[in-house]
Amino acid sequence: MPEVRLSGLEKRFGSVVAVTEVDLIVRDGEYVTILGPSGCGKTTLIKMISGIWEPSKGTITIDGKDMNGVPIEERDLGYVFQNIALFPHLNIFENVAYGPRVKVLGKEYIEEIPRRYLGMVNLLDRMGLFPSELAGGEQQKVSLSRALASGSKLLLLDEPLSALDARVRMDLRYELRRLAKDLNLTVIHVTHDQEEAMSVSDRIVLMRNGRIVEISSPETMYKQPGTLFSANFIGETNLLEGTVVGTGGTTTVRLRDGSNLTLNSSGFHHGGAVVVSVRPENVYPADEGIPVRVSRTTFMGSYVRVLAKTEGNDDLEFDVPAKQNKCYREGDELWLQVNGNMAILFIAPEEGVMEAIKLE
């Protein structure tokens, strides 16, 4: 199984810097997702790894071999594109058999390999059909089977699910993860979908403005994000600005409405400007705490998302399980508490909170 190393990678298009200062190691058999907003450089990065584009600076090694100048067909990798790219004049079996046939692997392999991978995605009964006769999810499964049939142990996935319906995306992402682990593949998967990245990855590489912001496991990035941008981009969070008024084993923060929050954080200085990040599931109604007024409620199926405003005009969202049958309406006044063990505290960015979390 190949290890992929990127060192000092940069890509320029004239005066535009698409990717810069990228250092990354993808270990053997690891499923790594490159995540970020549109235009952050993630597709540029995977195209450099594949050999579609050459880097302007830096090195790419796959399985210990320097790939600079090596064409895509000699990098021994499988590539699945966002736009389903099947040969329309070939049936499903012939599409999947294309790689083994080009590599002249022999008749027995050309017959056996397509059946093996089509069986893995439950499409053996479709192999005599043409791409136009399949649904979108089935077509992308064929694309995946064709990439796997090349025999490569490195699989590159460039937004492979974005053109599919929501339910099909959900089903297929679990299929991708299962296949990758069953076949001991090294996978680099590009997506802008946070839920997709969280559900399939061993590690997530979060990008912004052509740079890597943070690399960690999905659970760590969600529960203990290292940056304000990560906290805001991964999942949903409330951001409350305040000032440190108490330090020690815990930190007490005075919010802009005058309320105090005590958080399980340390290392902050008295009087310092900070930002509290707390997920909606860690905010709950109470008999005292932060006074708020309800602005909006949204039914989400298993829960109701409630948006409220503090007296300091900060937004504060919280969730109410639908089974509680508790109904809040616009204008309702109540108190909210924050779980201080689950909130993350950041030093307030010099450029301002909105600038620090904006997507571009």
- One domain for residues 222 and 272: no
- One domain for residues 253 and 215: no
Which residue, 200, 228, 256, sits at the end of a domain? 228
Range of the structural domain that residue 78 is part of: 4-228
Q: Are 18 and 10 in contact (CB under 8 A)?
A: no
CA angle 339, 341, 344 (to 5 degrees): 95
Count of domains forming the chain: 2
Q: Are 225 and 270 in contact (CB under 8 A)?
A: no
- One domain for residues 124 and 268: no
Buried residues in 111-127 as b, exposed as e (16+ CB within 10 A): eebbbebbebbebeebb
Count the Cβ atoms, other than its own, within 10 Å of residue 134: 18
DSSP states of 20-47:
EEEEEEE-TT-EEEEE-STTSSHHHHHH
Give the CATH number for residue 116. Answer: 3.40.50.300
- Size of the chain in residues: 360
pLDDT digits (tens, 9 = 90+) for 237-289: 999 999 999 998 899 999 999 999 999 988 899 999 999 999 999 999 999 99
Query: How high is the pLDDT of residue 106?
Result: 60
- One domain for residues 117 and 15: yes
Which residue, 228, 258, 276, sits at the end of a domain? 228
- One domain for residues 213 and 322: no
- The contacts of residue 35 (CB under 8 Å, 6+ apart) are 42, 191, 192, 194, 197, 204, 205, 206, 207
Query: How high is the pLDDT of residue 252?
Result: 94
- One domain for residues 95 and 66: yes
Which residue, 199, 228, 257, sits at the end of a domain? 228
- Is 90 exceeded by the pLDDT of residue 228? yes
- One domain for residues 197 and 265: no
Q: What is the mean pLDDT of residues 287-298?
A: 94
User: Rounded to the nearest 5°, which phi and psi values hold at 37?
Assistant: -70, 165
- One domain for residues 243 and 211: no
- One domain for residues 215 and 101: yes
Going by their DSSP bridges, the two strands 31-35 and 186-191 should be labelled as parallel
Whole-angstrom distance, CA of residue 10 vs CA of residue 45: 9
Query: How high is the pLDDT of residue 356?
Result: 93
Give the CATH number for residue 316. Answer: 2.40.50.100
- One domain for residues 247 and 349: yes
pLDDT digits (tens, 9 = 90+) for 24-39: 999 999 999 999 998 8
DSSP class of 112: H
- One domain for residues 223 and 189: yes
- One domain for residues 172 and 246: no
- What's the whole-model pTM score? 0.89
